[in-house]
Structure 1
Amino acid sequence: MEPAPEAKPAGPCAMVIFGAGGDLTKRLVVPALYNLATSKLLPKDFVLIGVDVADLTTDQWRENLSKMMQSFLAGGGEFTPESIDPSAWDGLIGNMSYLRGDFADDGTFKKLGDVLQKTEDDRHTGGNVLFYLAVADRFFGPVVDKIAAAGLADEQDGKRWRRVIVEKPFGHSLESAKALNQRLLKVLREDQIYRIDHFLGKETVQSIMAIRFANGFFEPIWNRDHVDQVQITVAETVGVERRGKFYEQTGALRDMVPNHLFQLLTMIAMEPPTSFDPDAVRDRKADVMKAIPPASLDCAVRGQYGRGEVEGHPVVDYRHEPDVSPTSSAETYVALKLEIDSWRWAGVPFYLRTGKSMSKRWTEIAIQFRRAPLSIFQGTDVSHMAPNWLVLQIQPDEGISFQFQVKRPGQTVALAPVKSSFAYKDWFPPSANVGYETLIYDCMIGDATLFQRADMVEAGWRIVQPVLDGWAAEKPADFPNYAAGSSGPKAADDLLANDGERSWRPIGNPI
């Protein structure tokens, strides 16, 4: 196998994290920056500035982050490096500084401007700045307004770049998403806004276009003539943990579907782009979203987990989680059936499901191809043929498998389904990855391919808004309706069974 071409380090820049003392910064953003440093992809001239209201000094902030990295190592896990590279870590924290400030205070942004000017002068960042909004979504608009009002978004006629990373949730409804887009676009250009979705940092997800468009045998059968159905599953074993207040206001549909699941769907269903130019790719993904009719209540299932056991550990029901109402109607599970009104996909159902406190942590995209006709096997013992499946497994183990039929050994004609599989870990050297490395690097080099545009965000909310409205108008009468540690409510099984012989693939079915 030929070695992959090496990526070049990003150009000089400063990165400002609003919400520097938060969980997202400590668990994901800073570890991702460390992994970029060990991969030699961080700029040589790089400065990290943390902004938060917490009363910390730069040394205290650095110490907190160092403790978090040590806890990664002590806890193990699939994304952690075996040991910290002291030179890479020391180099990273040596380029960190902390600014205490209230996001509502104009003075905070005046001080930040002074710090950025000093880094430009002393550290040769070229005036390039990446602002990361690792804050609650209610701060997105106000922080961006103040960035712009302080002149920090000004690119000085292209002499420098200024970009903003916005975390999810990007709105809570179609109306709020439109309002947020309008607010941001008053002070920023679309090409300055990077709406981040860490699912798109997974290797298997990034490989979808390569699988489809770099292999001559897939694309000719990637259509309604050959595909029977598509299933997208994002199952989590964790419950809501300490996020009860957030989940009570959000629920599984808002939290997962318009962003994570729809991004996976568009990469499977998009037409071939004319190039890998970011807007060429995003145009095709937007076309998919615009071709999906609004979801019907009849094709939507909601669930809430009750008491059960997950991986051998007892789990309380959702309504007894901290900060959750004992009569809560918030869904912790959602399943949808969608269709795409296009020449390629007309009549092919796309089934989406996601849930918390499920039997296993599992994310996959499964494409079932149409069954071959049985007529050739008349007069044999073959009375049924298992379908062919192409499965893209995203987590916990990234890889691809294909299920097909072979003849069983022996004197009679009998078939058996077998699998051919590929796992990334078996072919490529392991690399520490929290899912944010590629995305942060892409922001630094100005590649927006893996990020949503305003029209894509609004199209996603348009699809799910009728379901949100219907569920808000009628409270569920059967919550909780699935046990923790199960695969979800019976109504989700019925959603597929009503379409004939279809059923969900077992969660945790290995590649």
Structure 2
Amino acid sequence: MTAPLATHLTIFGATGDLAQRMLLPSLYGLQREGLLPPALRILGSARGELDGEGFRTLVAAAIARHAPAGERDPASLRAFLERVDFQPADVSSPEAMAALARTITAARDGGGAAYHLSTAPRWYAPICAALGAAGLNDPGARVLLEKPIGHDLASSVAINDGVAAVFDEDRVFRVDHYLGKEGVQNLLALRFGNALFEPLWNARHIEQVQITVAETVGVEGRAGYYDEAGALRDMLQNHLLQLLCLTAMEPPAHFEPHSVRNEKIKVLRSLRPLRGGDVASHTVAGQYTAGAVGGTAVPGYRDELGRDSRTETFVAVRAHIDNWRWSGVPFYLRTGKRMPRRCTEIYIQFRAIPHSIFAGGGARVAPNALVIALQPEERIALALMNKTPGLDRGGVKLSQVALDLDLRHAFAEQRRFIAYERLYLDALEGNGTLFVRRDEIEAAWQWVDGIHAGWRDADLTPKSYPAGTWGPASAVVLTERHGHSWRE
């Protein structure tokens, strides 16, 4: 059953870094575009002694820092702040949570509600229990959960069980903000809106797929969390595997929540488990040392952390999807911090032509390739072979050229909505298509746990790589031993 339009939003952890950088500016952006439900009221809650006026001051400062300069509009800001209020609450205090629940009950006035839990995951179940005890888990309510949902399969199951005791699955919206990005949405449009690609989107025509999420930053202010998580849990378990699902899934019957998520879970359940010796031969873990990024010297991970650590800041995996569409096609997944450039992209290399009629003239025919860049710029490039201009007295010469579509340029007149704007709007309207279902989360953890277990059993430690490079040398070997090379 579709949830009614939410007219109340409570943000738990409303003074935290994520709220100030992304959540509050995104809600303001929707306000400026006239897209928030007219009756929507927003209640922030967190530890501390802020009152409503103090919180509104914090909200205004966050928007001034993080909203695009061209979108800072005093009238829109005033209208947004009129929606906003605050009540402090320590989620570990039953009395404080009961008082907050009474405030929410009065503010809702019977309308639909969304509760966004931007807190540590260990508080998800207790917050939901408090909402349930106050009767705030009615059919008009839904809850948004930020990743990570646990740190392994067992903890994920425990958190999901605690939430499920209060909210039915179709009212739980698990957030992976990558799914709200415009470029990720366009991946579905590219695949399923064009007759050109779907006949070629299979093992018969595709040689390999690479998915890269590279960051130039280090751990910054997240060292405590990151050292417990590492690149495998922080990035690959959610972002990269979600991109893998969208790249590899079968066409859904409809663009609606159950159809899309049913196809994604099939991909995750088809991932070949990595166990024992396969972990050493199919994965690489790395940790950056001191180096230079963009011409600026940066410290190593242990220097930033202030102690020794075996946590990986880079991971590369050679994965296989054992189904009819993808049998035999390697999916190379790679993510890391302190890389040479920031990028998120999907690289699809098609198989080589069976025979070159230009070989007599020494012309080299490179395989066609499709590059889907998601950030920092959204673009699609199709690499094709083209005749090199000239008389070709010694034989025809070929060059690879790209049909390049710059999406920002192509749609320059249209505003680009950031991920949380789209996700908030969908959650308020009760549309779960771009959110992650419980079975997806747990299937992803099961696969990732196998890799962690393999590292632990073999006592594998991360290989060093200088900041500003593409990871340890063994990541190159991971692809080249199979005749492939990373796109850099």
TM-score range, shorter chain: over 0.9
Instruction: Tell me the amino acid that sits aligned with residue 238 of structure 2.
Output: N
Partners of 1:492 and 1:440 in 2: how far apart? 38
Q: Residue 233 of structure 2 aligns with which residue? A: 254
Q: Is the 8 A contact 1:167 1:195 kept in 2?
A: yes
SS in 2 for 1:335: strand
Matched, 1:347 2:328: yes
Partners of 2:10 and 2:108 in 1: how far apart? 13
Following superposition, which runs of at least 4 residues in structure 1 exceed 6 angstroms of deviation?
A: none
Matched, 1:311 2:294: yes
Partners of 1:378 and 1:248 in 2: how far apart? 52
Q: Is the 8 A contact 2:98 2:130 kept in 1?
A: no
Q: Is the 8 A contact 1:154 1:162 kept in 2?
A: yes
Once the two structures are superposed, the pairs formed by residues 76-87 of structure 1 within 5 Å of their partners are 80-87=68-75
Q: Is the 8 A contact 2:29 2:421 kept in 1?
A: yes
Q: Residue 118 of structure 2 aligns with which residue? A: 134
Change over 3 Å in CA distance of 1:117–1:173 after alignment to 2: closer
Q: Residue 509 of structure 1 aligns with which residue? A: none
Q: Residue 105 of structure 1 aligns with which residue? A: 93
Q: Kindly state the Cα deviation for residue 422 of structure 1 after the two structures are TM-superposed.
A: 1.0
Instruction: Tell me the amino acid that sits aligned with residue 439 of structure 1.
Output: L
Q: Residue 63 of structure 2 aligns with which residue? A: 69
Q: Is the 8 A contact 1:212 1:218 kept in 2?
A: yes
Q: Kindly state the Cα deviation for residue 320 of structure 1 after the two structures are TM-superposed.
A: 0.8
Once the two structures are superposed, the pairs formed by residues 88-103 of structure 1 within 5 Å of their partners are 88-103=76-91
Q: Kindly state the Cα deviation for residue 35 of structure 1 after the two structures are TM-superposed.
A: 1.0
Q: Kindly state the Cα deviation for residue 381 of structure 1 after the two structures are TM-superposed.
A: 2.2
Q: Is the 8 A contact 1:12 1:44 kept in 2?
A: no
Matched, 1:416 2:395: no
Q: Residue 401 of structure 1 aligns with which residue? A: 381
Identical pairs, percent:
41
SS in 1 for 2:349: strand
Instruction: Tell me the amino acid that sits aligned with residue 312 of structure 2.
Output: E
Q: Residue 242 of structure 2 aligns with which residue? A: 263
Q: Kindly state the Cα deviation for residue 72 of structure 1 after the two structures are TM-superposed.
A: 2.8
Instruction: Tell me the amino acid that sits aligned with residue 485 of structure 2.
Output: S
Deviates more, 1:228-237 or 1:241-250: 241-250
SS in 1 for 2:361: coil
Q: Is the 8 A contact 2:7 2:112 kept in 1?
A: yes
Q: Is the 8 A contact 1:358 1:486 kept in 2?
A: yes
Once the two structures are superposed, the pairs formed by residues 273-288 of structure 1 within 5 Å of their partners are 273-288=252-267
Q: Is the 8 A contact 1:103 1:143 kept in 2?
A: yes
Matched, 1:240 2:219: yes
The TM-score, its normalising length taken from structure 1, stands at 0.90
SS in 2 for 1:100: coil
Q: Kindly state the Cα deviation for residue 400 of structure 1 after the two structures are TM-superposed.
A: 0.8
Partners of 1:474 and 1:331 in 2: how far apart? 15
Deviates more, 1:98-107 or 1:233-242: 98-107
Q: Kindly state the Cα deviation for residue 38 of structure 1 after the two structures are TM-superposed.
A: 1.6
SS in 2 for 1:379: helix
SS in 2 for 1:358: coil
Q: Residue 7 of structure 1 aligns with which residue? A: none
Match of 2:369 among 379, 389, 392: 389
Matched, 1:19 2:13: yes
Q: Kindly state the Cα deviation for residue 478 of structure 1 after the two structures are TM-superposed.
A: 6.0
Partners of 1:285 and 1:203 in 2: how far apart? 19
Matched, 1:458 2:442: yes
Once the two structures are superposed, the pairs formed by residues 205-220 of structure 1 within 5 Å of their partners are 205-220=184-199
Q: Is the 8 A contact 2:293 2:338 kept in 1?
A: yes
Once the two structures are superposed, the pairs formed by residues 45-194 of structure 1 within 5 Å of their partners are 45-72=39-66, 80-121=68-109, 126-155=110-139, 161-194=140-173
Deviates more, 1:349-358 or 1:11-20: 11-20
Q: Is the 8 A contact 1:329 1:476 kept in 2?
A: no
Structure 2 residues not aligned, in runs of 5+: none
Q: Kindly state the Cα deviation for residue 477 of structure 1 after the two structures are TM-superposed.
A: 5.0
SS in 2 for 1:21: coil
Partners of 1:269 and 1:486 in 2: how far apart? 29
Q: Residue 36 of structure 2 aligns with which residue? A: 42
Structure 1 residues not aligned, in runs of 5+: 1-9, 74-79, 156-160, 507-511
Matched, 1:373 2:354: yes
Partners of 2:439 and 2:166 in 1: how far apart? 17
Q: Kindly state the Cα deviation for residue 44 of structure 1 after the two structures are TM-superposed.
A: 0.3
SS in 1 for 2:173: strand
Q: Is the 8 A contact 1:239 1:357 kept in 2?
A: yes
Q: Residue 468 of structure 1 aligns with which residue? A: 452
Partners of 2:6 and 2:245 in 1: how far apart? 33
Matched, 1:204 2:183: yes
Deviation sequence 1:280-315 (CA, Å, 0-9, x none): 111011111111121331201000000001112111
Deviation sequence 1:389-411 (CA, Å, 0-9, x none): 11111100111111100111122
Deviation sequence 1:336-380 (CA, Å, 0-9, x none): 111111111000000000000111111101111011123422422
Number of corresponding residues: 477
Cα-Cα RMSD: 1.5
The TM-score, its normalising length taken from structure 2, stands at 0.95
Instruction: Tell me the amino acid that sits aligned with residue 344 of structure 1.
Output: R
Instruction: Tell me the amino acid that sits aligned with residue 491 of structure 1.
Output: S
Q: Is the 8 A contact 1:81 1:432 kept in 2?
A: no
Q: Residue 337 of structure 1 aligns with which residue? A: 318
Change over 3 Å in CA distance of 1:35–1:20 after alignment to 2: same
Deviation sequence 1:128-170 (CA, Å, 0-9, x none): 1100011112212221122212221123xxxxx1010000111
Partners of 2:307 and 2:99 in 1: how far apart? 45
Change over 3 Å in CA distance of 1:425–1:477 after alignment to 2: closer
Q: Is the 8 A contact 1:21 1:54 kept in 2?
A: no
Partners of 1:457 and 1:276 in 2: how far apart? 20
Change over 3 Å in CA distance of 1:478–1:193 after alignment to 2: closer
Partners of 1:55 and 1:41 in 2: how far apart? 31
